[in-house]
Chain A
């Protein structure tokens, strides 16, 4: 197994993988529909054929063949062939200032995602929601993983951000239900949209003070309750605000959360959170988690550390909430309840605590799994929890826990073993 699957690809740099994936999705764009018809599928399998396989077991061979022909084979061939040029290109890129290779990689990734998603609106929606899930999971990991508290208030922060951004955009650009007449033109909207998101994030941070300040005096289970009470309070507050139409929800958000916007915000979020947890404050967070008293003795300002972590995590949760509202173009207080909490917690603990990689893996796998198993209807909610229980039993801290995301190492070309020696 190792000989055939690991060894041939051990020298492929990230650049090579991205190029391979790009070629594969481009191929699907060009030849996907005819190939699907030729294989007896009615249309291009939307999510790697999972839905088709579960709905019509007779089509499993064709769906598998489709995935092999369109995704697996081209990726494998291209990456294998491009080892040497990709390595040379990567070696040249890493000598340039850091921003350039990062931008190239992200550009390739975005191109691949864009081409992949273009085929259907459903893929676009799934992709956007997955990216938002990555943001929320990462920001929860800052508190639950890096700081080691069990915070239940994240849906509350999301709700604050979602409602604030919605009120901002709907009130200023769409109709007069909040601030009288619309006084800004729609065309200005996409430029002011980031401001709405950022202000929503700040408001969520402000709300997080309600959880952060009690955290000075208490930890663990009592803090979990405080954050849970916060979640109930936010939800109930929104339900009682006639201003935002209470439990009926708020709709009519303009369609500004396009795929590039969501992608950019996600990149920004991953970048800033990754830097945050690798900074002195991030290390201080780990110290506070492991032993608060010892951290204090080592001149860590525990209060400042805690409050910064809470505000920072809440900010990103708020931004994610704002994006979420504009992706679905409808928000409702009951979206941000216990169910959402269970979902986000599942993503964090499935992926792995104290790890940016883990959060990305957890968020992507749980959201894609949720979509892929959709044909099973309610049995989906037996399979996903069972999977999570197994992960918890065999890897209690999650799949990829305690692992740093080192971007420089990621972009390096993979040298031949003898060159390293």
Chain B
């Protein structure tokens, strides 16, 4: 039981990363019917931007100009990096996706993949092949809850990602912009006639998705403080799986599926040898998709390919 609970805690943390990244995929998908395959690499860029921002803030704090406690640095890092990374997302949309909005969907997928490769290589060219380690901003405190070890970092990661997912849900449900997004997801052709600025909304969607990916990147840096330029690839593709599993454009679905993927991976590793993790986790996903081909919350509509 203790082992189970311990793994549950780990799975919650692991699932938070997937959930946050999957949200970005899901948002873009619901509105433009496109997958942003550069998203995993935006997660990586967000993580590096977070690294840069936090180093800058630490230098500022230690120079004595502004007195800042470490937790404030972390909060500011998250906010600043989310803001900066959202511009990366908007650039990706402008360069790779807007010119291709009427093209076959697969072509846009290819530009996305290629932008991802450019981001990875660009990072490698700028910073070199060495890995950087994320500064440790908060002290790890371990709480022992009747045998289950919970660290303050884990609690923070899960709470922050749930808060962000909840905020996004509220944004999509309650605001005018959110309403415009839902309308675009419903019918992309009619919405411009109703006076909704489609291009602005698409850019905004990419910005929001990228900001969430940046948050995930920083949280990842807090938990596993080694960053390398290729860390986004596997995370990106796995979160893509989670986004599909959640169903088209469902904030709830993507969050839930992200956590589910985290749970599957962690619990498979708990029961079986950890090298079998991918094998069993993806077999389970294959089974789920065979039974429910449109994910948990997606309605069975026919995805007509614009080829």
Which residues does A use to contact B, with CB under 8 Å?
Answer: 144, 148, 150, 210, 214, 217-222, 224-226, 228-230, 232-233, 235-237, 239-240, 246, 289-290, 338, 342, 345-346, 349, 353, 378-379, 381-382, 385-386, 388-389, 392-393, 396-397
A345–B289 CB distance below 8 A: no
> Contact flags (1/0) for B221-265 with A, using CB distance below 8 Å?
000000000000110010011001100000000000000000000
How long is the Cα–Cα vector from A381 to B229 in the complex, in angstroms? 13
Identify whether the interface residues of A are mostly helix, strand, loop, or mixed: helix
Asked if B111 is at the interface of the complex by the 8 Å CB criterion, the answer is yes
Q: Which residues of B contact A144 (CB under 8 A)?
A: 106
Asked if B113 is at the interface of the complex by the 8 Å CB criterion, the answer is yes
B121–A382 CB distance below 8 A: yes
How long is the Cα–Cα vector from A353 to B124 in the complex, in angstroms? 32
The 10 closest A-B pairs by CB, nearest first: A396-B103, A385-B114, A220-B303, A218-B293, A236-B278, A236-B279, A381-B121, A396-B107, A229-B282, A225-B244
B276 contact from A220, A236, A379, Cβ within 8 A: A236
Q: Which residues of A contact B294 (CB under 8 A)?
A: 218, 222
Known: A221-B35, A222-B289, A346-B110. A385 touches B118 (CB 8 A): yes
A sample of 11 inter-chain contacts (CB < 8 A) reads A218-B293, A225-B244, A228-B241, A232-B278, A233-B278, A236-B276, A345-B110, A378-B125, A389-B96, A392-B110, A393-B111
What is the number of contacts between chain A and chain B, taking CB atoms within 8 Å?
A: 139
By CB atoms of chain B within 10 A, which of A210, A230, A392 has the most? A392
Given A217-B293, A232-B278, A338-B234: 16 more A-B contacts, CB < 8 Å? A150-B106, A210-B286, A214-B289, A217-B290, A221-B303, A222-B289, A225-B245, A226-B286, A232-B282, A233-B278, A233-B286, A342-B113, A378-B124, A389-B115, A392-B103, A393-B100
Which residue of the partner chain A has the closest CB to B284? A229
Q: Which residues of B contact A346 (CB under 8 A)?
A: 110, 113-114
Known: A210-B286, A379-B125, A386-B118. A222 touches B293 (CB 8 A): yes
In the complex, what's the smallest C-beta–C-beta distance from A99 to chain B, in angstroms? 36
Asked if B63 is at the interface of the complex by the 8 Å CB criterion, the answer is no
How long is the Cα–Cα vector from A239 to B279 in the complex, in angstroms? 10
Q: Which residues of A contact B113 (CB under 8 A)?
A: 342, 345-346
How long is the Cα–Cα vector from A232 to B241 in the complex, in angstroms? 11
Q: Which residues of B contact A235 (CB under 8 A)?
A: 278
Which residues does B use to contact A, with CB under 8 Å?
Answer: 29, 35, 95-96, 99-100, 103-111, 113-115, 117-118, 120-122, 124-125, 233-234, 237, 240-241, 244-245, 273, 275-279, 282-283, 285-286, 289-290, 293-295, 302-305, 307
A392–B122 CB distance below 8 A: no
Which residue of the partner chain A has the closest CB to B109? A150
How long is the Cα–Cα vector from A289 to B304 in the complex, in angstroms? 10
Which residue of the partner chain A has the closest CB to B35? A221
How long is the Cα–Cα vector from A338 to B231 in the complex, in angstroms? 13
B305–A229 CB distance below 8 A: no
A289–B276 CB distance below 8 A: no
How long is the Cα–Cα vector from A230 to B282 in the complex, in angstroms? 8
Q: Which residues of A contact B35 (CB under 8 A)?
A: 221
How long is the Cα–Cα vector from A210 to B289 in the complex, in angstroms? 12
In the complex, what's the smallest C-beta–C-beta distance from A374 to chain B, in angstroms? 14
B289–A225 CB distance below 8 A: yes
Q: Which residues of A contact B109 (CB under 8 A)?
A: 150
